[in-house]
Copies of this chain bind each other. A is one copy, B any other.
Amino acid sequence: MVKTLIIGGGGMVGRKLAESLQKDETDEDLTLFDVIFPPETHGFKNRITGDITDPDVTNALAAARPELIYHLAAIVSGEAEADFDKGWQTNMLAFWRFLEALRAEHLASGGTYRPRVVFTSSIAVFGGPFPEEIDDVFLSAPLTSYGAQKASSELMLSDFSRKGFVDGISIRLPTICVRPGKPNKAASGFFSGIIREPLNGQEAILPVPTTVRHWHASPRAAVGFLRHSATLDLDLLEGRRALSLPGISCTIEEQIEALREVAGNDAVKLIKHVPDETISGMVAMWPRNFATERAISLGYEAESSFREIIEIYLQDDMPKPS
């Protein structure tokens, strides 16, 4: 394994990425960094806990000169919106300082150190009004602080890469579905909840109309996107180093029909429609569909149906009866 660092290795996707890397090789050259680690990660040998906004921390991470860096750490959308300071400090300024620290290592190495940086951006860089499908040349006009922070980070990573200090790519992941584990408080949480809870025999709340269309990929696809980004020849990007990735565009109604096919009517009956104006208003501003021709031509692969996304949850994450 090339010397690898996962920033945000304690999160759901970071952990799955680490497990995937470990499956192929030993974890000798794998370091996970996060502010806190859940018990599932305690098997990994090299774990560093710290605050990414501390310049000593970013300097130390860069000084170890990892060859491959996956950057998945972020203050999530809701928190970045509520805490303006924390969002910009963590999602933009800390990333800027980290790039500066990598540039310092590049210069100190006489130009030989030039790490691959895979940065997870988000479809939140897009703000409405949208066309039916968002294509590869549609503008980034974010309507959240989180989206603005991700979009400016994309610009920085592109310029540091163009100058040859790092070799970076920003990948805009679809909403990851079905998220395993307990419901979380993210406004988008119900997209996973209405599948996961019924499959586990529990009630789920649907706060928006079933006509709502959204953009999904599985956690397994997310790991695939990240790993593909690690080895892709980035010269193929021809300077446009931010990429919207493939996914499945479907309505809630289509999600529910897929659930019915997989788990029957009894599962579907566990979905309770409790309209929430606030959540409906937020969701109405989110992207619904993409035409990701560039990513597809570069070899990125997602699921081909929402049913497949449900089946991946059953295979990878469904709690086994004890």
Given A127-B239, A239-B127, also A142-B163 (CB < 8 A)? no
Question: Which residue of B141, B152, B239 is within 8 Å of A156 (Cβ)?
Answer: B152
A212 within 8 A of B: no
A36 within 8 A of B: no
Within 8 A of B (CB), among A238-254: 239-240, 242
A159 within 8 A of B: yes
A284 within 8 A of B: no
Are the CB atoms of B139 and A138 closer together than 8 Å?
yes
Given A143-B239, A239-B143, also A148-B138 (CB < 8 A)? no
Are the CB atoms of A143 and B155 closer together than 8 Å?
no
In whole angstroms, what is the CA distance A318 to B90 when docked? 51
In whole angstroms, what is the CA distance A296 to B151 when docked? 27
Given A152-B156, A155-B152, also A139-B142 (CB < 8 A)? no
Query: Which residues on the B side are within 8 Å of A77 (C-beta)?
Result: none
Number of interface residues of A (CB under 8 A): 26
Query: Which residues on the B side are within 8 Å of A140 (C-beta)?
Result: 139-140, 155
Query: Which residues on the B side are within 8 Å of A93 (C-beta)?
Result: 96
Q: Which residue on chain B has the smallest CB distance to residue A165?
A: B84
In whole angstroms, what is the CA distance A162 to B140 when docked? 15
Query: Which residues on the B side are within 8 Å of A148 (C-beta)?
Result: 155-156, 158-159
Q: Which residue on chain B has the smallest CB distance to residue A238?
A: B129
Query: Which residues on the B side are within 8 Å of A142 (C-beta)?
Result: 155, 158-159
CB distance from A82 to the nearest CB of B (A): 11
A137 within 8 A of B: yes
Contact with B along A134-150 (1 / 0, CB 8 A): 00111111110100100
In whole angstroms, what is the CA distance A239 to B143 when docked? 7
The residue among A93, A159, A239 with the most chain B CB atoms within 10 A of its own CB is A159
Q: List 22 A-B contacts (CB under 8 A).
A: A93-B96, A127-B239, A127-B240, A131-B137, A137-B139, A139-B140, A140-B140, A140-B155, A141-B242, A142-B155, A142-B158, A143-B162, A143-B239, A145-B163, A148-B155, A148-B158, A151-B152, A151-B155, A152-B152, A152-B155, A152-B156, A155-B155
In the complex, besides A127-B239, A141-B158, A142-B155, 6 extra interface pairs with C-beta distance below 8 angstroms are: A84-B163, A93-B96, A131-B137, A137-B138, A141-B240, A152-B155
